[in-house]
Amino acid sequence: MSILYVLTLTALSGTAVRAGNMVLVLYALKLGSSAFVIGLLGAMFAVLPMLFSMPAGKLSDRYGSRAPLLVCVAGSGLGLLVPWAFPGIGAMFIAAILIGLSLAMVVPLQNLIGLISTPDTRARNFANFSLGMGSANLIGPLIGGFFVDLAGPATTCLYLSLLNVVAIVMLLGWGRRLPHTRAEAKARGSVYAILKIGDVRRAIATSSLINVGRDLYQFYFPVYAHSIGLSASLIGIVQAANFGAELTVRFFIPGLLKKFKEEALLAYSFFIGAASLVLMPFFQSVYVLIVLSFALGLGMGCGQPIITMLMYSYSPAGRTGEALGLRMSFIHLTKLVGPVVFGAIGSALGLAVMFGVNAAVMAGGGILSRPRARRRSSETTP
């Protein structure tokens, strides 16, 4: 199975969900929603991925990735049609729940990357997967912002659903060729056996924290930008700078890993993200916001692929999909709780405080990452 096929599916699903996230937030703002309602809306994207990620991983381990991928793509496509067919804030919540299925696609896609890779090509293929996601994250906000200004949010959702149609055609036409987990590697055991692995627990914790910062920026920066009068197109450009930085830094990850230990690089990623978030609500200049958004993207883009590679390596043989799904379930649990909590903070105390608390969470993730880096360094020193 060609890596290009998997990367194409990644780009299609990623573009649709990233654009859909921003379009729904802008649509809800247009309907007069508060920061707390935006937080609830953001949380809805995490409901189905939280429940479906680990089952999707198990299914891909035992029966192949085609079926879970089809469910995710079809459900997300239907979700994008809801705001077009039934305008209103209630439809936004239903759409967010269904569109979130695209986020569960990450698990079988990551497992596919591991299955089609050899030990020599695994790091390169995971880096290419991250580049595919980064490209989608860059293109999605640009497409979303442009079409919202051109045709309105409801019609934009209709256009975005066409990306899912292309992915469905790809899966129906060539999905049977997707590889399965090797039969002799199909391990058995409870989920607690996976959680007993200390490195797995650490990867889950750090990945959850880094995604909190990234996703809260994605949902609440449009709220802040809307409050200072930026258009949808400018909001899309600022967010595209963030995702462009994620894409750019991933070209340099192999070189960075030769210079720094994995956990040390994760710590730097957290601290860069924290600094960017704490400064953001103090500026209204589009140019300064682009710079801060780019800096945040450098940190987030560096951390995520490292965690994915480590998680795949730490997972028990034959249970890589299940382990990756477990990680994604925890990530989406934080996505479910985080926007609600931070939305309440934003409504009660203001967006600046919400950004500051988010930055503190990111700084905590950096502190959590550093001690392990020191221990590994001491263990490898002769």
* Residue 205: Cβ-neighbour burial (10 angstroms; 0-12, 13-18, 19+): middle
Phi, psi (5° rounding) for residue 243? -70, -30
Closest CA relative to residue 375, chosen from 270, 209, 262, 238: 262
Q: Coil, strand, or helix at residue 204?
A: helix
Pick the CATH number of 3-178+186-380 from 3.40.50.280, 1.20.1250.20, 3.40.1390.10, 3.10.20.30: 1.20.1250.20
Q: Of 11, 44, 54, which is closest to residue 328 (Cα–Cα)? A: 54
- Which pair of tokens denotes residue 339? 């926007």
pLDDT tens track, the chain, 382 positions? 577 887 888 888 888 888 888 888 888 888 887 777 877 787 788 777 777 777 777 777 777 777 788 888 888 889 889 888 888 888 888 888 888 877 777 777 777 777 777 767 766 777 777 777 777 877 887 888 888 888 888 888 889 889 889 888 888 887 677 766 544 444 455 666 676 677 777 777 777 777 777 777 877 788 888 888 888 788 888 888 887 888 788 778 777 877 877 777 878 888 888 899 889 888 889 999 999 999 998 888 777 777 777 776 666 666 666 677 777 777 777 777 776 677 677 667 777 887 888 788 788 777 776 645 344 443 333 3
Would you state the pLDDT for residue 177?
Answer: 73
Radius of gyration for the chain, computed over Cα atoms and rounded to the nearest angstrom: 20
Amino acid in position 100: G
Distance set, CA 114 to CA 11, 56, 180, 319 (Å) = 18, 15, 11, 12
Extents of the domains making up the chain: 3-178+186-380
Res 379: pLDDT: 39
Alpha carbons 338 and 122: distance in angstroms, whole number: 32
**Sign of torsion, CA 237 243 245 248?**
negative
Q: Which amino acid belongs to residue 177?
A: R
